[in-house]
């Protein structure tokens, strides 16, 4: 099955034959669905902060900064923006009749009608040598304009990563998501010395594009906010790539008889996160940004959630130190068990009453001494899907988990009902503590649940194949972390999934009205 030329490829990617065999076996076995007991809600697992609590937790965060805590902003930013332009690509590849129809209604009509409201409009106008205020000319030349936006003969947006695209306008100047993350980091992510640490995960091909923008724009933002930025980058490690298979689970081979490996999804980034060193790590996707003038709610909740992390981390650390210093204090162990149940929503094993005092102590220490994450959760406004749930582990214990729709068996009426009852979704708004009570970094790879990956169907050059996705970074990738969910407002969640999302008022300049 493994040929000599395969071994050369495996060696270059630092992937063992054993790992390939494991993955091939996983395709045959599949992954189990996540067993869920109930949705997490504000009455069952999600904290809802009132104004007083927000202020109190914000003060906690500032105490942490004053005490020398280091802060880092971690921004997953690999991947091209191709999916953002899916409708536009379909339009330029359609026949003339279909194109004429699409100009009359739907996303193409919206795009062309409001073309002047995109931050890239001026640059596109110059490349097309047109006046976009002439709406008839814009519609007549729609195919030409969109090709100039997407393809290499124009702006090449179809191939670039989202981070370098022009998303917003500040006066006459177009602003990229990279810059918006710099601005955001400066507002809540600086340490006591005024340093702002930002780490982008990028694809190797795209890193020079990021570096160019950062090099050009950094002095301006450092002067504006009075901070010093430390910007770093990493790429997904090649050994996290996973093998692709045919529909019969045999290894897929390319036309030149090579095995095909694909990136393992955002779950691979647990390796990148594991390499970083900071006391508080904010995680937020590259496309979830808004213009700086709209940041008030984001700043308020980021600081409050970081304060929740600091507050509970200090309580946990204090308990772990007390356990070290008081080997025989059973009252302390019982106090900690109450804290775990009431404040951290940690469920206890049914047999705990049968544990000896020493076993209880060991259980409590192992449960508390692990990475901690505070996750913002937004109220559902559309169809319920992936989000915060009470998951049931192999040992029968329940724990708070972020579960994707694909991990849930929607053919099971009971599970479908649980999903329909869910009240919140996951906006990918995490604050992480990755060090223990002695200041040492946890090895985050030890807290991944390997049974939470999934298999997806893809195609390459018209051939169907199956791909293996690693446990998602904030799903199974953090399955065994101490998890705290906090409700955050929808105003903190403004992702750009399609180009027309940029027309929403949240992404428009201060003076622009809604479209």
pLDDT for 158-190, tens place per residue?
Answer: 999 999 999 999 999 999 999 999 999 999 999
Confidence label for 512 from pLDDT (cuts 50, 70 and 90): low
Report the SS3 class of residue 159.
coil
For 457, the enclosing helix (H) or strand (E) is strand 454-460
Please say whether the dihedral angle defined by the alpha carbons of residues 415, 419, 421 and 426, taken in this order, is positive or negative: positive
Mean pLDDT of 74-95: 94
Secondary structure, 3-state, 420-438: HCCCEECCCEEEEECECCC
Mean pLDDT of 62-66: 97
Please say whether the dihedral angle defined by the alpha carbons of residues 103, 104, 107 and 111, taken in this order, is positive or negative: positive
How much is the mean pLDDT over the chain? 95
Confidence label for 460 from pLDDT (cuts 50, 70 and 90): confident
pLDDT attached to residue 276: 98
Confidence label for 31 from pLDDT (cuts 50, 70 and 90): very high
Distances (CA, A) of 207 to 79, 157, 163, 214, 234: 11, 16, 10, 11, 9
In whole angstroms, give the CA distance from residue 147 to residue 242: 34
Percent residues over pLDDT 70 in the chain: 98
pLDDT for 276-304, tens place per residue?
Answer: 999 999 999 999 999 999 999 999 999 99
Strand order in the sheet with 36-39: 36-39, 387-392, 398-403
Please name the residues in contact with 277: beta carbons below 8 A apart, sequence gap of 6 or more: 70, 441
Residue 461 clears pLDDT 90, i.e. is over it: no
**Structure tokens given for 442:** 């946890």
pLDDT attached to residue 383: 63
pLDDT attached to residue 510: 87
Please name the residues in contact with 9: beta carbons below 8 A apart, sequence gap of 6 or more: 258, 259, 261
For 98, the enclosing helix (H) or strand (E) is helix 96-102
pLDDT for 113-140, tens place per residue?
Answer: 999 999 999 999 999 999 999 999 999 9
Domains of the chain in sequence order = 32-81+163-493+502-507 (3.90.550.10), 82-159 (no CATH)
In 3D space, the residue among 391, 389, 343, 346 whose CA is nearest the CA of residue 364 turns out to be 346
pLDDT for 479-507, tens place per residue?
Answer: 999 999 999 999 999 999 999 999 999 99
**Structure tokens given for 356:** 């000896």
Tell me the residue ranges of DSSP E strands in 92-193.
168-170, 173-175
In whole angstroms, give the CA distance from residue 500 to residue 85: 9
Please name the residues in contact with 70: beta carbons below 8 A apart, sequence gap of 6 or more: 191, 197, 277, 278, 279, 280
Residue 514 clears pLDDT 70, i.e. is over it: no
**Structure tokens given for 454:** 């999934």
Q: DSSP characters for 306-338?
A: HHHHHHHHHHHHHHHHHHHH-TT-HHHHHHHHH
pLDDT for 3-12, tens place per residue?
Answer: 888 898 999 9
Tell me the residue ranges of DSSP E strands in 276-404.
280-284, 372-379, 387-392, 398-403
Q: DSSP characters for 221-264?
A: HHHHHT-EEEEEEE---GGG-EE-B-TTSSBPB-TTS-B-EE--
Please name the residues in contact with 437: beta carbons below 8 A apart, sequence gap of 6 or more: 316, 317, 320, 321, 369
Mean pLDDT of 456-477: 92
- Give this prediction's pTM: 0.95
Mean pLDDT of 411-417: 96
For 73, the enclosing helix (H) or strand (E) is strand 71-76
Confidence label for 513 from pLDDT (cuts 50, 70 and 90): very low
Residue 459 backbone phi and psi in degrees, to 5: -145, 150
Q: DSSP characters for 8-68?
A: HHHHHHT--HHHHHHHHHHHHH--PPP-EEEE-BTTBBEE---HHHHHHHHHHHHHHHHTT
Confidence label for 385 from pLDDT (cuts 50, 70 and 90): low
In whole angstroms, give the CA distance from residue 9 to residue 479: 32
Mean pLDDT of 23-36: 94
Query: 284 in the Ramachandran plot: left (φ > 0), alpha (ψ -120 to 50) or beta?
Result: beta
CA 468-472-474 angle, to 5 degrees, is 175
In whole angstroms, give the CA distance from residue 111 to residue 435: 47
In whole angstroms, give the CA distance from residue 180 to residue 200: 13
Q: What is the dihedral of CA 507, 111, 146, 106, to 10 degrees?
A: 130
pLDDT attached to residue 84: 96
């Amino acid at each position: 099955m493994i040929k000599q030329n395969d071994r050369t490829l495996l060696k270059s990617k630092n992937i063992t034959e054993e790992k390939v065999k494991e993955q091939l076996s996983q395709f045959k076995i599949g992954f189990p669905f996540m067993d869920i007991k109930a949705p997490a809600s504000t009455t069952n697992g999600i904290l809802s902060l009132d104004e007083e609590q927000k202020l109190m937790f914000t003060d906690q965060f500032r105490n942490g900064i004053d005490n020398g805590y280091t802060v880092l902003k971690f921004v997953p930013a690999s991947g091209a923006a191709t999916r953002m332009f899916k409708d536009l690509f379909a339009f330029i590849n359609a026949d003339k009749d279909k194109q004429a129809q699409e100009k009359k209604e739907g996303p193409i009509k919206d795009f062309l009608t409001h073309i002047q409201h995109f931050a890239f409009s001026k640059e596109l106008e110059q490349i097309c040598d047109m006046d976009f205020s002439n709406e008839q000319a814009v519609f007549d030349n729609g195919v030409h304009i969109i090709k100039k936006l997407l393809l290499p003969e124009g702006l090449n947006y179809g191939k670039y990563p989202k981070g370098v695209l022009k998303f917003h306008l500040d006066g006459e100047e177009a602003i990229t998501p990279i810059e918006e993350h710099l601005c955001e980091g400066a507002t809540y992510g600086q340490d006591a010395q005024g340093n702002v640490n930002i780490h982008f995960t990028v694809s190797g091909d795209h890193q020079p594009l990021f570096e160019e923008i950062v090099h050009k724009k950094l002095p301006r933002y450092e002067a504006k906010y009075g901070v010093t930025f430390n910007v770093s980058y990493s790429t997904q490690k090649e050994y996290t790539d996973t093998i692709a298979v045919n529909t019969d689970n045999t290894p897929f081979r390319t036309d030149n008889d090579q095995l095909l490996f694909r990136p393992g999804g955002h779950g691979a980034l647990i390796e990148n996160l594991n390499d970083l060193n900071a006391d508080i790590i904010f995680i937020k996707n590259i496309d979830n940004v808004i213009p700086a003038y709209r940041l008030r709610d984001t700043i308020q909740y980021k600081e409050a959630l970081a304060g929740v992390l600091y507050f509970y981390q200090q309580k946990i650390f204090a308990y772990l130190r007390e356990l070290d210093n008081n080997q025989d204090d059973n009252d302390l162990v019982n106090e900690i068990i109450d804290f775990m149940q009431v404040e951290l929503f940690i469920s206890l094993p049914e047999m705990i009453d049968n544990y000896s005092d020493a076993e209880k102590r060991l259980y409590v220490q192992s449960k508390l001494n692990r990475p901690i994450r505070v996750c913002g959760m937004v109220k559902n406004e559309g169809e319920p899907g992936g989000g915060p749930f009470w998951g049931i582990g192999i040992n029968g214990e329940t724990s708070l988990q972020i579960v994707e729709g694909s991990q849930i068996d929607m053919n099971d009426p009971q599970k479908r009902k649980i999903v329909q009852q869910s009240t919140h979704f996951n906006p990918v708004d995490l604050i992480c503590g990755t060090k223990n009570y002695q200041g040492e970094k946890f090895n985050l790879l030890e807290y991944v649940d390997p049974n939470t990956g999934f298999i997806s169907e893809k195609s390459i050059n018209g051939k169907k194949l199956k791909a293996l996705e690693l446990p998602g970074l904030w799903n199974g990738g953090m399955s065994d972390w101490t998890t705290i969910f906090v409700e955050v407002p929808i105003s903190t969640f403004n992702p750009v999934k399609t180009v027309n999302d940029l027309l929403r008022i949240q992404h428009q300049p201060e003076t622009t009205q809604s479209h």
